[in-house]
Amino acid sequence: MDWFGRPGAKPTARQVTGAAGEERALQHLEQQGMHLVERNFRCKVGEIDLIMRDGATLVFVEVRARADGRHGGAAASITPAKQRRLTRAAERYLQRLRTLPPCRFDVIAIDDGVLTWLRNAIVG
């Protein structure tokens, strides 16, 4: 089985780039004192790459990696439709909790190897 649980399937170059970007983002955020709560939360309405805890705050993190800027930067690739899917997925995640913590949406943009952390990047 492959890393997605499908027999014989090979990851695409995009999937490999995305997984490497998520791992790098996770390491960076942990170095900043944040703690991983959940990785790749999936539901009907969307996916959240990383859910982190920053003190009492729950942080939903979208990771975008681009090898080059030919098609715009990594942060610019988060369209309004993608933002809506992220906020809906976060709402679904929060429905599982007894009490609602303070929350925010961050973006880790990796452009040509350069990591940029955008806090409060998406208003949900």
- CATH code of the domain covering residue 88: 3.40.1350.10
Do 83 and 122 meet the contact criterion of CB atoms below 8 Å apart? yes
Residue 46 is assigned to a structural domain of this protein: yes
Q: Is residue 102 part of a domain?
A: yes
- Is 37 a member of any domain? yes
Inside any domain, residue 47: yes
pTM: 0.87
- DSSP state, 35? E
Residue 2 lies in a domain: no
Per the domain annotation, does 8 fall within a domain? no
User: Which of 2-16, 71-85, 89-103: highest mean pLDDT?
Assistant: 89-103
Task: Give 47-77 pLDDT, tens digit per residue.
Answer: 999 999 999 999 999 999 887 666 678 888 8
Q: In which domain, by residue range, is 40 found?
A: 13-122
Residue 24 CB partners (closer than 8 Å, separation 6+): 65, 110, 115
**What single-letter amino acid sits at 95?**
Q
Whether 6 is covered by a domain: the verdict is: no
